[in-house]
Amino acid sequence: MFDKEKLKHFAYLAKITLTEEELIKFSSQLQKILAYVEKINELNLEELEPLISLSPALPLREDLPEESQNTREIINNFPEKKDDYLVVPKIL
């Protein structure tokens, strides 16, 4: 069973503060989630294959070495550059 005291302990470990209303609300929600997980645990899944992916495997191409573009050509085509570096806008 998941009660308010356990939730307070987990909140303390996570270093978060929960109000009394949040403790009541979240402990109720967590009890429902754990009850649902318990129902799933009761299912007999012995004969089911594990699901690896929902989409079929994509065909892979052979990895062959190719001639790459000339670095100087790439730098020369870039709008802003400084020496051998590309200048881009600062993002914060």
Reported as a single tens digit per residue, the pLDDT across 18-63 is 999 999 999 989 999 999 999 988 998 888 888 877 777 788 888 8
Q: How confident is the model at residue 14 (pLDDT cuts 50, 70, 90)?
A: very high
E strands in the chain: 81-82, 85-86
Tokens for 58, please give them: 């994509």
What CA–CA distance (Å, rounded) separates 19 from 49? 44
Residue 90: which residues within 8 A CB-CB, separation 6 or more?
none
Can you tell me whether residue 32 is helix, strand or coil?
A: helix
DSSP 45: -
| Bridge partners, residue 81, by sequence | 86
The residue that leads in pLDDT, 83 or 35, is 35
**Predicted local distance difference test score (pLDDT) of residue 1:** 66
Assessment of whether the complete model's pTM goes beyond 0.75: no
**Predicted local distance difference test score (pLDDT) of residue 11:** 93
Asked whether 88 and 78 are in contact (CB, 8 A), the reply is: no
**Predicted local distance difference test score (pLDDT) of residue 36:** 94
Burial of 7 (0-12, 13-18, 19+ CB in 10 A): buried
